[in-house]
Structure 1
């Protein structure tokens, strides 16, 4: 039986009924809360559904608490230097606080350390970074999320089955940790990992990677992907060969949940992106006002399968409006 101890939507549903500012495409999205405080939010990208949910949560918190929220992100998660430049640009505008989802923590750390020295509270979401003076980290343990994904996949297979791991951009700590967690769980359950390949969190690349893997391993029975876009790309390759392969993604995007309902993906591990954005801005305001902020805030995870996918899809549609 799937564990129910991880809950994504409990806290989020409580805020989902709030009026949300419409999401924006491109690399910049302004959300005015009509207040005096300004919070900058720099994400890994704004080009994928996952980060759109983070953006929606951040802007909902801005509207609720009267905070002006400016959300920006690179064209792709691999554009690390573009993210660094965006952080520097946001800091030059003297925000009250900055919320960052670092693509490569060690690369952005110097800019964030400078922010701390300038008395700007720095809150991290999704991926943590080790530097002195950060206010908090809001997110889930990516290793644990991967572990749950590995356990879920193993529960659908039998001991000795061959499985594949689809990685994100190498060096991205979030996706790297998800893969480590999944690999540990799958091997512990007796699965044989026959391939582990990066696809840079890109659907098209993942399809190509999976096609190449299947040329040598048509007897693969399962796939764990470090994000949903790659899971959906791998699904295309599997469908093209009419194979029965269980595929588990990560992120809980609307497209992935629809795929589960349509009999495509077998499941996804959701990491509460909406909550990350919401709690990021909410706690940024606390920091600006000098209130105490916990140094670690768990935003929760949820395991989505066909059993609960309809409920999750309804929630995602609400926050996407």
Structure 2
């Protein structure tokens, strides 16, 4: 009997361990004590204890958000901060992000860094956090939330404008351009599309189609295939992110067409595609710095320090002329 009971306890213990390992999907952590000698800068111990910062991203499944994650982790190591990073399985999982945000708030972090996919859906949770005295910082995508400490990221409308001007410089007035948007209601991708559209129309281009593809390669490929069946003589495409631009490229190559294609984000895959003669260019953001600055500013806010109300992380146009340099930089982040 004793042996049977012992085996039962062992089995239950193993089951609990396996469940704990499985629950880590969509979650990563950075222990601030693991990155140095323990003294560090001392920032994480300003009030006598290591700070806990929660970072809730739109997803952890795409290269762009991996760069944000890497920056946040490095900040945690450098500053002696415990950083927990979570994100849904895709940017289309809006309710999943809300649930993750609620879960992180229930763990009483010292500050929360959020990149809202649809701001309206998370504002009630952000207001709850603010009412509890938890500083809320937004990165990549802004929200109409008065309680936020700061917004850190690209001015997405301006990024779209830069893309529109760059594309227009390669075309003639009257040429047809296609716009591929992200998930409906995503403020970052919506702003990029609006900026590009305004710049293109001002330059005399014709917007032949404007369709969402949920920031997904496969959907973007399908959307572009349908557009190519309905429209002829398309000269250029602007995509609100690089994953969709790659999907567009696949559809264009399958149709054996020569079309200018620009994405947004500056991911390693997109930059490599430019080098290989696929994509024409991408509007590169600085997601690594967004993640790093998000945690750094969250720590400052948690310590009662003043943080700038808006921090622009800037953009850079990547073409065949500077793609190799950009690729080397991105590869250095994963080394």
Scaled by the length of structure 1, what TM-score is found? 0.91
Is 1:182 aligned to residue 196 of structure 2? yes
Q: Which residue of the partner structure matches residue 119 of structure 2?
A: 105
Contact 1:164 1:220 (C-alpha < 8 Å) held by counterparts: yes
Deviations 1:274-310 (A, max 9, x none): 1110000000110111111011111111111111111
Once residues 54 and 215 of structure 2 are traced to their aligned partners in structure 1, the CA distance between those partners, rounded to angstroms, is 25
Offset of residue 189 of structure 1: 1.1
Is 1:53 aligned to residue 52 of structure 2? no
Q: Which residue of the partner structure matches residue 246 of structure 2?
A: 232
Gaps of 5+ in 2: 1-23, 34-43, 45-49
Q: Which residue of the partner structure matches residue 255 of structure 2?
A: 241
Once residues 256 and 295 of structure 2 are traced to their aligned partners in structure 1, the CA distance between those partners, rounded to angstroms, is 45
Q: Secondary structure at the match of 1:120?
A: coil
Is 1:65 aligned to residue 101 of structure 2? no
Once residues 271 and 137 of structure 1 are traced to their aligned partners in structure 2, the CA distance between those partners, rounded to angstroms, is 15
Offset of residue 26 of structure 1: 4.0
Q: Which residue of the partner structure matches residue 215 of structure 1?
A: 229
Offset of residue 216 of structure 1: 2.0
Q: Which residue of the partner structure matches residue 297 of structure 1?
A: 311
Once residues 85 and 46 of structure 1 are traced to their aligned partners in structure 2, the CA distance between those partners, rounded to angstroms, is 15
Q: Which residue of the partner structure matches residue 30 of structure 2?
A: 31
Q: Secondary structure at the match of 2:28?
A: strand
Poorly superposed stretches of 4+, deviation over 4 Å: none
Q: Secondary structure at the match of 2:207?
A: strand
Deviations 1:100-130 (A, max 9, x none): 0001111100100110110100000011111
Is 1:319 aligned to residue 314 of structure 2? no
Deviations 1:225-275 (A, max 9, x none): 000000000000100111110000000000000000001000000121111
Task: Map 1:1-321; keep pairs closer than 5 Å.
Answer: 26-34=25-33, 36-321=50-335
Offset of residue 218 of structure 1: 3.0
Contact 1:26 1:46 (C-alpha < 8 Å) held by counterparts: no
* Structure showing greater Rg: 2
Once residues 133 and 203 of structure 1 are traced to their aligned partners in structure 2, the CA distance between those partners, rounded to angstroms, is 35
Once residues 233 and 311 of structure 2 are traced to their aligned partners in structure 1, the CA distance between those partners, rounded to angstroms, is 42
Scaled by the length of structure 2, what TM-score is found? 0.87
Once residues 232 and 249 of structure 2 are traced to their aligned partners in structure 1, the CA distance between those partners, rounded to angstroms, is 14
Q: Number of paired residues?
A: 297
Once residues 130 and 198 of structure 2 are traced to their aligned partners in structure 1, the CA distance between those partners, rounded to angstroms, is 37
Q: Secondary structure at the match of 2:113?
A: strand
Offset of residue 317 of structure 1: 0.5
